[in-house]
């Protein structure tokens, strides 16, 4: 197991967060619940899980469009956690 440290995201992290998200997701923002969020502006989060093609299952339960806000394809689901307090 690798050693690692968890710390809050601070203002100096914005550039690498933006680069990381852009390289992996193709843009520096994410869309959720009809809103667009720029990752560099989020207070901090831990990526828990990526559910590939999860929206296909959701479409079997209810209507979900193929394309969402800003022309973003609705396909995968990500689970994020933000730790509150200590």
**17-32 per-position pLDDT tens digit:** 888 888 888 888 888 8
- Residue 26, domain member (yes or no): yes
- State the residue range of the domain holding 19: 11-81
pTM over 0.75: no
- Residue 42, domain member (yes or no): yes
- Return the structure tokens found at 25: 């997701």
pLDDT, mean over the chain = 79
- Residue 57, domain member (yes or no): yes
Euclidean distance between CA atoms 25 and 64, whole angstroms: 20
Number of domains in the chain: 1
- Residue 6, domain member (yes or no): no
Confidence of residue 55 (pLDDT cuts 50, 70, 90): very high
Helix, strand or coil for residue 55? Answer: helix
- Residue 1, domain member (yes or no): no
- Residue 2, domain member (yes or no): no
- Residue 86, domain member (yes or no): no
């Amino acid at each position: 197991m690798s050693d690692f440290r968890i710390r809050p995201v601070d203002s100096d992290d914005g550039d690498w967060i933006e680069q990381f998200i852009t390289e992996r997701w193709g843009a520096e923002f994410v869309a959720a619940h009809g809103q667009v969020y720029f990752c560099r502006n989020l207070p901090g989060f831990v990526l828990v899980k990526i559910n590939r093609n999860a929206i296909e299952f959701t479409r079997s339960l209810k209507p979900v469009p193929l394309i969402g806000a800003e022309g973003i394809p609705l396909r995968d689901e990500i689970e994020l956690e933000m730790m509150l307090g200590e």
